Chains A and B, each alone.
Chain A
Amino acid sequence: MRGAQMDPEGTELATLDRLVSLSGKRVLEIGCGDGRLTSSLAERARHVLAIDPDRRAIGRARRGVPSHLKDRVRFEVGQGESHELPAEGFDVALFSWAL
């Protein structure tokens, strides 16, 4: 949104980095929305599966991923409650503003 900025200091990611190492990890991001965090997670992780029930938000998120990270991120439209996920396929599940 023009004239507005959320967390330009990067406090959220800095806190996450301080507490969890995502290096080499397979990350499940539930409720990714328009991908506000997804690319940053992909920069750190081995792979990210990002899901959200909002198809248009997923479209925006997909377009926002830089080309060098595209093979590390997969987006799927789905609900956290019912989305079919591979058993024991992830090291970290992230709920950001999604519970």
Chain B
Amino acid sequence: MVHALTNARRALTDTGLVVDIHPAPDPRTISCATREGPRAAGIVRGSRAKVRAAERKLELVRRHGMFRLHHSEVFHVLHYVASLRILRTYVAQNFPGKWVDTATERRIIKLLGRRAVGTIIIDEPVRISLLGKASTATANLLY
């Protein structure tokens, strides 16, 4: 996808901007809504290799002078699911290669009861980066 950034660069005006949004390397946490408020249950397990690869691609295009980083920050996207059963399916469908481990499932059952029906929240840290197109003179060296 570095090539996608190269392709996008060609398609941008000289003052054009790339906005990249992808999950941050920090883990996605899982909590349950209880009468006492949200209670931590665990994290979504799985490799963060894809996230680290995305961060490397951004670093690479910056180092090669294609784009300049204007701004970067992490915000939190919340996902709500209505039961442990739905959580398993949701994680499998939306976070490829990720899963909910047994300890987290046990904790959810402890917090929500044996049927594990109730509000379960996944807190996903997401990075947004704004990159401006660097000068053509520098970036042409790459093509």
Interface residues of A (CB under 8 A from B): 1-9, 11-12, 15-16, 19-20, 28, 30, 79-83, 85-99
Contacts and interface: CB of A to CB of B under 8 A. Distances in A.
Given A3-B83, A80-B1, A88 B75 contact: no
How extensive is the interface on chain B, given as a class?
A: 35 or more
Given A83-B7, A90-B13, A95-B18, 19 more contacts: A4-B86, A5-B80, A12-B21, A15-B75, A16-B21, A19-B71, A19-B128, A19-B130, A20-B130, A80-B1, A85-B10, A88-B13, A90-B12, A93-B8, A93-B17, A94-B18, A96-B22, A99-B20, A99-B53
Q: Name A's interface SS.
A: loop
> Which of A4, A9, A20, A97 gathers the greatest number of chain B CB atoms within 10 Å?
A4
B11 A92 contact: no
A95 B7 contact: no
11 contacts: A1-B90, A4-B80, A4-B81, A5-B79, A11-B75, A11-B76, A15-B128, A16-B128, A85-B7, A88-B10, A90-B11
Interface of B: 1, 3-5, 7-8, 10-23, 53-54, 57-58, 71, 73, 75-83, 86, 89-90, 93-94, 126, 128, 130
In the A-B complex, the 8 residue pairs with the closest CB atoms? A80-B4, A85-B11, A3-B82, A81-B3, A93-B8, A99-B54, A3-B86, A4-B81
B4 A81 contact: yes
B45 to A, nearest CB: 19
B69 to A, nearest CB: 13
A12 to B, nearest CB: 6
A10 B126 CA distance: 13
Contact of A99 (B22, B89, B128): B22
Given A3-B81, A12-B77, A90-B12, A99 B17 contact: no
Given A4-B79, A4-B80, A97-B23, A91 B8 contact: no
